[in-house]
Amino acid sequence: DAGITQSPRHKVTETGTPVTLRCHQTENHRYMYWYRQDPGHGLRLIHYSYGVKDTDKGEVSDGYSVSRSKTEDFLLTLESATSSQTSVYFCAISEVRVSSYEQYFGPGTRLTVT
Amino acid sequence: QQQVKQSPQSLIVQKGGISIINCAYENTAFDYFPWYQQFPGKGPALLIAIRPDVSEKKEGRFTISFNKSAKQFSLHIMDSQPGDSATYFCAASRGSNYQLIWGAGTKLIIKP
């Protein structure tokens, strides 16, 4: 999984509670991404980072925040979890090369909000 | 304009046959078109990618065909094997922000 770990791998939480997911990379890649994957929707970008403390919103950012204080760590926080945020969350990293924008994915975190 | 439409949703192919998955896009600014393969319980993994300056790219049994005028691209898997059974995603990107726009995925089953 290209030196990417995600924690936790599985989590069940209650509606209204805050949740933080962690992505850790050992590749020293500049770009990091958080996606959610739901049946019929493919992968949808939540937030991404292009450097330490540099982040931007993706297409489904409402209800989520991120932080990146170190190159290797990218945190995704659900401020107040809702049932609609039940999903599988993937972190990805990339290092832009001249000829490609390859993204490498972590193993995913399955989050269930009850 | 940001969408990538992928078809079919699911596909069953006999072992040894050709699997074909299609994608269409609207945004002519897209300049990178990858295909990803995902096995259950795993993250997607890059399979093959193409840029619009070529019409075809082949890597082993996997080929991308690209039709710039029709704004379509497709993945062909020759001599499909049971180990190819997975979900396949097409995606597209434009160079300015390195974000990928994803198709909805195709679940491919290869029958032995």
pLDDT digits 0-9 by tens, B7-58 = 999 999 999 999 999 999 998 888 889 999 999 999 999 999 998 889 999 9
Q: How far apart are CA B56 and CA B51, in angstroms?
A: 9
Total Cβ atoms within 10 A of residue B96: 8
| pLDDT, position A6 | 97
Is A1 near chain B, with CB under 8 Å? yes
| pLDDT, position B94 | 76
Q: Is the pLDDT of residue B1 over 60?
A: no
B89 to chain A, closest Cα gap in Å: 7
| pLDDT, position B104 | 92
Q: What CA dihedral angle connects A27, B50, B104 and A44, to 10 degrees?
A: 40
Is B19 near chain A, with CB under 8 Å? no
Reported as a pLDDT band with limits 50, 70 and 90, residue A28 is: confident
Higher confidence at residue B63 or residue B100?
B63
Q: Is the pLDDT of residue A96 over 80?
A: no
Q: Is the separation of the CB atoms in B50 and B66 below 8 Å?
A: yes
Total Cβ atoms within 10 A of residue B71: 16
* Average of per-residue pLDDT across A47-66: 93
Q: If phi over 0 gives left and psi between -120 and 50 gives alpha, with beta otherwise, what is residue B46?
A: beta
Is B99 near chain A, with CB under 8 Å? yes
pLDDT tens digit string along B76-105?
Answer: 999 999 999 999 999 998 765 668 889 999
Q: What CA dihedral angle connects A112, A105, B4 and B77, to 10 degrees?
A: -120
Residues from chain B contacting residue A108 (CB–CB below 8 Å):
41-43
- Phi and psi angles of residue B84, each rounded to the nearest 5 degrees, phi first: -85, -10
* Residue % of chain A over a pLDDT of 70: 94
Q: Report which DSSP code applies to A99.
A: S
Q: How far apart are CA A108 and CA A34, in angstroms?
A: 10
Buried b (16+ CB within 10 A) or exposed e, A29-42: bbbbbbbbbeeeeb
